[in-house]
Structure 1
Amino acid sequence: MTRILLLGAGRSASSLIQYLLRYAPVENWQVSIADVNPAHLDPVLAAHSAYAQAISFDVAEVEQLDVLVPTADIVISMLPALFHPLVAQACVRYHRHLVTASYVSPEIRMMAEDAQAAGVALVMECGLDPGLDHMSAMRALTEIREQGGELTSFKSYCGGLMAPDSEGANPWKYKFTWNPRNVVLAGQSTAKYLENGHPRFIPYQQLFARTEVLSVPGFGEFEGYANRDSLSYRQPYGLDNIPTILRGTLRRPGYCSAWNALVRLGLTDDAVHLGNAAAMTWQELIEAYLPAATAGSLPERVAAYLNLAPQGQEMTLLTWLGLFTNRPLDLPDATPAQLLERLLTEKWQLAPGDHDMIVMQHLFDFTLQGRRHRRTSSLVVLGDDATHTAMAKTVGLPLGMVVRRLAKGLLPQRGIVIPTLPDIYEPVLDELAADYGIRFEEHEFALS
């Protein structure tokens, strides 16, 4: 019997839990799901009590890890990323494997030798992004190399968006399908990438003003903006000498320019507490960010301050959020980012009938037999409802599949492992396509 412990059963865990419950009786697993509110799992686990249980777990009480981790053979962490080092330390201490969807942080990277010595696999970056991006890119890169192609450019974009049938009257064409705070604070470090052999840096203040338009077959156009440090992907992908490499985030056209307006107004700042009263209104807050009042309405003065067309798309999106109304902020002494997150959590909340959408696209440029070629690899996944979202599928299913392989003894690697290895990505991508219809659409054509 293999004992599996899942820490965290929030929004992105629904598909992972279904996968674990599907295979628990087949693979002889005993599954324990630890969550701060385990009661919400009762209906899910009611028919699976012989091999699954819910446990109360408060991540703030980290000493509980010393109780729970030793009871498992494999630990899956769906906790916020800042808690993963604590979980990883416990896993190394008790010689237990760990699987997560989050990035390898500097703190976890420092555990590599200890994990190796303990015979423990810390399998990271096995969700969507990071995760499926690694797997699909490595499969395509390997195929191009096996043809004799020489890579000259690699660009990769991913976005969690709304399905076309759920965009509705929301002019942003966006709602929250994952942590709202992460969305509000996205991009606040300088983006770094390579373009034609030259380093490129985009500071946060310019990030959403410098976008690239992409087209995904059957789903129209998207805008991509650069994401974090693209240069760190050269080594794990074997692209140390590639002239162009960029990773980015996708949004529907119009989103980035309107978000840039929020940045320029100062509403994404999370460094300063304003000392505001909860009864202060959004209109008063926006007024406080403008120079001394001149003639014109508040929206007109905001448009002039940001050099935007008063009736343009950006102002339409800002007005839709309610920034120019007498609505109370309802949160005292907050940062601007906290206030914006509170507002957007209501405005961008998934309705029961909504369907989200994951879009990922890789663009590979390479030379083959003296000719320039481009290969695009595109993935679109639609959610079933507000619980079984596309985000939950694409984060949770790859995680579950990696756990299954680890439990079967098919992943012999120890230390820190990410899914750039063919014995991880090949079976996971095959299972996603065969059992869940999650597959990448490939197109290749000559450029010259």
Structure 2
Amino acid sequence: MTTYTVTVVGVGLQGTAAVYDLAAQPDIARIWAVDVRDDALRALQARVPSPKVQPLLASAEDEAALRPALQSSQGLLALTPPAQRAALARWAVAYGLHYVDASYPIPEIFALAEAAAARQVALVPEVGLDPGLDLLLSQRLLVGLDAVHTWHVYGAGIPAPEAAQPPLRYKISWTWEGVLRAYRRPARLVQHGQVIEVPGDALFAPGTCTSVTVPELGPLDAYPNGDVLPYLHDAGLLNQVTHAGRFSLRWPGHCALWYPWVQAGLLREEPVLLDGHAVEPWRCLARLLEPQLHYGPHERDLALVRVEVYGWRDRRPVRRIAQVLDYRDLRTGLFAMQRTVGFTAAIVLAALVRGQIRGRGLLRPLRDVPAAVVLTALAQRGIRVHEVEMPWEPGEAS
């Protein structure tokens, strides 16, 4: 059996899940687990007590410290802040490693595409939950359609109903500061064939935030999540759909609670003076709320991705829905968000080093990553896709 060595940089929540999954793969012989925090590495070793795991205390931006891992690995998974991913992607290409991350692509990734292809390695951003699983589900649903009328993508990482205590009905299964940054990120949608720009301070506004019903959960608040246009481009659907958008979901009341906070400036980055010190309002809010938003040992989160496509197949109007709904595994303690992000990224990394994904250069999950490879592996881990197709009447989708 051929065996492989891989590197995971960043062993927080998602990195821990990725290492956990990789350690269970018989052909993954060694996993360099890299973090700048010694306590994070100790926690990882306690959670994943495998002889395969080689901890490395190093900064993601210190090439010399990372060199033992870079020289011996075939693939690298970066689960770090955006500022560190550029260097990691650059070193992956230089050392001939496949590169994976679970976030939106940074500009440097595009600049490295040609060099990666020349080195016969792949750069694969966006293989987490959202973006990631949503794109693979979309890939499945869009295949075989003659035309697309509506393409809506919904993602959620929220407490299970029994753990959704007021007033926020939200807890942390990702980076809390990352969540708050997303709460002020401008968005673009397509409505009635027109591109709609949503400013970062209007995501939760009445009329922008809508209600979406998921049968297993009931009605949820849906607010715009980022820019749909690059994904329409990847799918070959730019200027060809009537409605399209990417949305995050929260328990009802979330938008009504957060909209006045945003309007009051609590998420502003511009510092204010407090007792002679410059303080960014959003960081103050983050520090205030963060200790109150942790899950208890027996509380579950849920992770949801739901994709709805309306279109035509063989001239017949059809509505297709694909959904993944996962809950925290109380046996392992891994959150649903860890499973759907960390496992997905680990599966893609392993598939690259094994040669199951053959593309080189910059790969986009929507068009370049075989959905069946990833979704089959997730099903083996108990994370299953539910799909349905039904007729629809043109005019009912919006």
TM-score normalised by length of structure 2: 0.91
User: Does residue 174 of the first structure (1) align with residue 170 of the second (2)?
Assistant: yes
Q: CA RMSD in A?
A: 2.1
Residue identity in the other structure for 2:371: Y
The structural deviation recorded for 1:443 is 4.8
Deviation track 1:337-377 (CA, whole Å, cap 9, x = no partner) reads 01100111022222222211112221211134655432222
1:421 Cα shift?
4.1
**Is 1:252 equivalent to 2:251 in the alignment?**
yes
1:45-69 per-position Cα deviation (integer Å, ceiling 9, x unaligned)? 43x22x3321212235454234532
Amino acid corresponding to residue 155 of structure 2 in structure 1: C
Return the alpha-carbon distance in structure 1 between the equivalents of residues 161 and 137 of structure 2. 24
Separation (CA, whole Å) in 1 of partners of 2:80 and 2:175: 11
Return the match for 1:9 from 8, 11, 14: 11
- CA distances 1:172-229 after superposition (whole Å, capped 9, x unpaired): 2111111111211224243212112112112223221111211111211111111221
Alpha-carbon distance, 1:397 to partner:
1.2
Cα distance change on mapping 1:441 and 1:59 into 2, 3 Å: same
Gaps of 5+ in 1: 279-331
Instruction: Report SS of the residue matched to 1:440.
Output: strand
Other-structure match for 2:33: 33
From the superposition, tell whether residues 274 and 192 of structure 1 become closer, same or farther in structure 2 (CA, over 3 Å): same
**Does the Cα contact within 8 Å between 1:402 and 1:424 map onto a contact in 2?**
no
- Within 5 A, what are the aligned runs for 1:35-434? 35=35, 36-37=37-38, 38-46=41-49, 48-49=50-51, 51-59=52-60, 61=62, 63-142=64-143, 144-145=144-145, 149-167=146-164, 169-209=165-205, 210-240=208-238, 241-271=240-270, 273-277=271-275, 333-368=278-313, 372-385=317-330, 387-421=333-367, 424-434=370-380
Given that 2:312 and 2:318 are in contact with CA atoms closer than 8 Å, whether structure 1 keeps it comes out as yes
Preserved contact between residue 129 and residue 305 of structure 2 (Cα < 8 Å)? no
C-alpha distance in 1, partners of 2:254/2:80? 29
| Change beyond 3 A, Cα 1:176–1:28 | closer
Rounded to whole Å, the distance in 2 between the matches of 1:227 and 1:43 is: 35
Radius of gyration: which is bigger? 1
Offset of residue 28 of structure 1: 4.9
Residues in 2 aligned to 1:45 and 1:251: alpha-carbon distance in whole angstroms: 32
Equivalent position SS for 1:430: helix
Instruction: State the secondary structure of the residue aligned to 1:376.
Output: strand
Q: Distance in 2 between matches of 1:394 and 1:174?
A: 18
- SS of 1:157's equivalent? strand
Rounded Cα–Cα distance in structure 2 between residues aligned with 1:5 and 1:370: 48
Deviations 1:71-94 (A, max 9, x none): 211111111222111001111111
CA contact (8 A) 2:32 2:69 kept: no
| AA aligned opposite 1:265 | A
How far does residue 445 in structure 1 lie from its aligned partner after superposition? 3.4
Taking a change above 3 Å as real, the CA distance of residues 425 and 368 of structure 1, as seen in their structure-2 partners, is closer
Residue of 23, 35, 49 corresponding to 1:21:
23
Paired residues, number: 385
Structure-2 separation of matches of 1:33 and 1:435: 22
CA contact (8 A) 2:320 2:387 kept: no
For 1:258 and 1:423, the matched residues in 2 are separated by 38
Once the 2 structures are TM-superposed, how far is the Cα of residue 440 of structure 1 from its aligned partner? 2.9
Q: Which amino acid aligns with 1:164?
A: P
Match of 2:182, SS state, is coil
What letter matches 1:252 in structure 2? W
The separation in 2 between residues aligned to 1:28 and 1:376, in whole angstroms, is 35
Structure 2 vs 1, CA of residues 381 and 59 (structure 1 numbering), >3 Å: closer, same or farther?
same
AA in 2 matched with 1:345: E
Of stretches 366-375 and 35-44 in structure 1, the one that deviates more from structure 2 is 366-375
Structure 1: how far apart are the matches of 2:56 and 2:296? Answer: 29
Cα distance in structure 2, aligned partners of 1:437 and 1:190 = 31
Judge conservation of contact 1:126–1:418 (CA < 8 Å) in 2.
Answer: no
Asked if the contact 1:269/1:335 (under 8 Å) is kept, the reply is yes
Separation of aligned partners in 2, 1:419 and 1:383: 25
Contact kept? 2:300, 2:327, Cα under 8 Å: yes
Whether the aligned pair in 1 keeps the contact of 2:266 and 2:285 (CA below 8 Å) is yes
**Unaligned stretches of 5+ in structure 2?**
none
Counterparts of 1:437 and 1:39, CA distance in 2: 28
Q: TM-score normalized by structure 1?
A: 0.81
| 1:238 Cα offset (Å) | 2.4
Q: SS at the partner of 1:107?
A: helix
| Percent identity between the two aligned chains | 26
> Given that residues 4 and 75 in structure 1 are in contact (C-alpha distance below 8 angstroms), is that contact kept between their aligned partners in structure 2?
yes
Alpha-carbon distance between aligned partners in 2 of 1:152 and 1:219, rounded to the nearest angstrom: 26
Looking at secondary structure, tell me which structure has more helix per residue: 1
